[in-house]
Amino acid sequence: MPTWHPGHTRDVELPQRLTKFVARGRVFLETASNFAMVGVRVSGANGSQRHIRVVLAQPRGFCAGVVRAIDIVEHALKKYGKPIYVRHEIVHNRHVVETLKSKGARFVEELSEVPAGAVTVFSAHGVAQTVVKEAERRGLPVLDATCPLVSKVHKQGKRYVAQGRNLVLIGHAGHPEVEGTMGQVGAPVHLVSSEEDVDALDLLDDAPVAYVTQITLSTDDTRNIIGALKRRFSDIVGPETTDICYATQNRQSAVRELCKVVDVLLVVGAKNSSNSNRLCEIGLEEGVPSYLIADGAELNSKWLEGREVIGLTAGASAPEELVLHVIDALRQIGEVEVTQMEGISENIEFRLPAELRT
């Protein structure tokens, strides 16, 4: 993780939407001859003299799996026309869902709600085999938007089961990704979410065991539980640490760095987005008051009282325009100056399903 210092700037492209802010006449760029983005100063809406420093986390917001899932729905709408049926929220963000709805996507919780023959998309979180089989039985044309990293966990779990191992899944009960993985493996799966759960597992200590993790947990989240599993079971295997989701790890690491220099943390994301909630928890762990907000409308000015530097990040399913919406809301409180911390620049892309590539 590169070291970042307050006031540190770097040579990056100005985000497109930020340029629009300039066009709306509210942003003043502090320019310098040798770099494109530095502090962005936004005048206060009410002529307020309060000065608010905002530091953006890098990276933040959309990951490659979310981009692919949204692209699948949009490409499907173009190729097959509306409506396209999507099982479960394509990603956990109401703004994304509403935008796709306005373009002709219909969101359902069960396949029984999908009319015969309608094009159906499975969400980025993945689905259980029973759902795949039901779609086959009904002859529904399916586009699978399951994130390739989640599919990789499904395959890994199946491999371990085929080796005759008892499979332990580290994850949160009720999360769609966990339900999908448990339903993909085709054998009993032992779900654990704490070290206490490991102690309580109804398995012999010398039983052959393998573990996989909810991919949207980071190494920080799983380290202690994996440690407990390895202490308890003598014959245990698990994936390489590189198998965790790069986006989750990068966003969490960036927030830990960010918390070293900010007085309060705002996380843009949905209440049902586990990775957004986790970013907020990390802020609290780092001793920084942290708030999860869907957009600028949920900003509470009381949170900022006595706070000079505000950290701003977004979960993997939150679009950048919502980050800009929060900056716009901050502008109602005072003069805003935005800088972006140095951080990892992600360039991962996942390919669309073959039928949508042309």
- Two tokens, residue 116: 């015969």
Sorted by sequence, the CB contacts under 8 Å of residue 244 that are 6+ apart come out as 213, 215, 217, 218, 219, 222
Smallest gap from Cβ 8 to ligand SF4, in A, equals 27
H helices within 139-218, ranges in order? Answer: 148-162, 176-184, 195-199
Give whichever of 120 and 273 is closer to ligand SF4, judged by the CB atom.
Answer: 273
Tell me the C-alpha to C-alpha distance, in Å, between residue 314 and each of 16, 206, 218.
Answer: 17, 43, 16
Reduced to 3 states, what is the DSSP secondary structure of residue 167? strand
Give the footprint of ligand SF4 on residues 99-158 (CB under 6 A).
Answer: 124, 147, 149-150
- 177, 179, 257, 335: which one is catalytic? 177
Give whichever of 138 and 158 is closer to ligand SF4, judged by the CB atom.
Answer: 158
Between strands 40-42 and 27-29, the pairing is: antiparallel
Smallest gap from Cβ 88 to ligand SF4, in A, equals 13
Residue-by-residue DSSP string for 300-351: -GGGGTT--EEEEEE-TTS-HHHHHHHHHHHHTTSEEEEEE----------P
Between strands 189-192 and 335-340, the pairing is: unpaired
Q: Is 170 in the site for ligand SF4 (CB under 6 A)?
A: no
321 is catalytic: no
Q: Is 318 in the site for ligand SF4 (CB under 6 A)?
A: no
Give the footprint of ligand SF4 on residues 239-268 (CB under 6 A).
Answer: 245, 247-248
Give whichever of 44 and 65 is closer to ligand SF4, judged by the CB atom.
Answer: 65
Q: Is 73 in the site for ligand SF4 (CB under 6 A)?
A: no
Give whichever of 180 and 334 is closer to ligand SF4, judged by the CB atom.
Answer: 180
Smallest gap from Cβ 154 to ligand SF4, in A, equals 12
Q: Which residues are catalytic?
A: 177
Q: Which residues bind ligand SF4 (CB under 6 A)?
A: 63-66, 124, 147, 149-150, 215-216, 245, 247-248, 275, 316
